Amino acid sequence: WRALRVDELYHSLCAGPRAALPGVLREGIEACRFDTAVAREWARVVADAAEDTGAEHLRVWSDDLGDALADDTLGALRALELLLTRAHSRATAVSKRQASMPSRRTPGSAARGPAHREWYSSSTRRAR
């Protein structure tokens, strides 16, 4: 069954390298849970897709995963560390970007739905 899953991951990466990558990375977490050998199988999929598509972001992932998985004892752990570090960096960047955007909502309306916001905006127009 693993060989079929590996083929499926490879084809999804080749069909849409950017769109498929998050799901493939999630699969990598599961591969690392087994052991370094299984994680290397998974990383080989990323490497093969990087080579066949020419997608630079896949090549970067492939190189970094190859480095992390070179250690027979701690390879899977290092690959998980890489995945977590990049996920944290990305989440931090998104959070900072969102924090720098001006809010269009009235104070306290974040938890309220669109019907309330519509009512609020129409009632403040009537009050003027």
The larger pLDDT score, comparing residue 26 to residue 118, is at 26
Q: Kindly give the residue spans of alpha helices, DSSP state H, lying in the chain.
A: 2-15, 17-34, 36-53, 56-68, 75-100, 114-127
Instruction: Encode pLDDT of 55-78 as tens digits.
Output: 999 999 999 999 999 999 999 999
0.75 surpassed by pTM: no
Long-range contacts of range 6-9, CB-CB < 8 Å, 24 or more positions apart? 6/41, 6/42, 6/44, 6/45, 9/42, 9/45
Per-residue pLDDT at 91: 76
Give the distance from CA 54 to its chain's centroid. Answer: 20
Q: Which two tokens stand for residue 69?
A: 């998985």
Ramachandran region of residue 52, left (φ > 0), alpha (ψ -120 to 50) or beta?
Answer: alpha
Give residue limits of the domains in the chain: 2-99
CA quadruple 20, 26, 32, 34: dihedral positive or negative? Answer: negative
